[in-house]
Amino acid sequence: MKKDLHPSSYRFVVFKDMSNEYSFLTKSCVETKETVKWEDGNEYPLYKLEISHTSHPFYTGKMKLVDTAGRIDKFKNRYAKK
């Protein structure tokens, strides 16, 4: 096995689902610039997600449409003329 293949900078990071405000704390090596105060009183790096297991239709069983950037409207406007 190759040496130094995996990153060694794992730390606790808060991941926040922006569609339903659900947050969870886990270890990760993702780079972030924002921080947030967690329930235990400590400050951790924050990584914002557009969708997670609490908002994805496969896991929830509900067809909830999450369109944060207006992509669906752009698509409908582009192809409505045809």
pTM for the structure as a whole: 0.65
State the DSSP code for 52.
-
Placement of tokens 């409207």 in the chain:
73
For 25-49, what is each residue's pLDDT tens digit?
A: 999 999 999 999 999 999 999 999 8
For 53-76, what is each residue's pLDDT tens digit?
A: 777 666 666 665 555 567 777 777
| Separation CA 82–CA 59 (nearest Å) | 35
Q: What are the domain boundaries of the chain?
A: 11-79
